[in-house]
Amino acid sequence: MNDHQSVLFIRREGSSAKGVQWHVFMQAQQDALDSYRLDGWKLVTAVGVRDAKALEGVLLYFSKEG
């Protein structure tokens, strides 16, 4: 990565795809997006990371304009 690219990994906690853990996971993603946007970053792509059973987390790739 360089000054114009950034990657953030957000891990999903718990074994349930629904409920409190899922809400916390989705809120963490939204908070990250909001924080990066405020600093002038643009989301390039989001990639789900799976383990053998379920979604482990998400990788968010950002690019800085200019």
Q: For residue range 16-61, what is the model confidence (pLDDT) as tens digits? A: 556 678 888 889 999 999 999 988 999 999 998 888 777 788 999 9
In the predicted structure, residue 7 carries a pLDDT above the cut 80: yes
- HEC per residue, the chain: CCCCEEEEEEECCCCCCCCHHHHHHHHHHHHHHHHHHHCCEEEEEEEEEECCCCEEEEEEEEEECC
Give the model's pLDDT for residue 51: 80
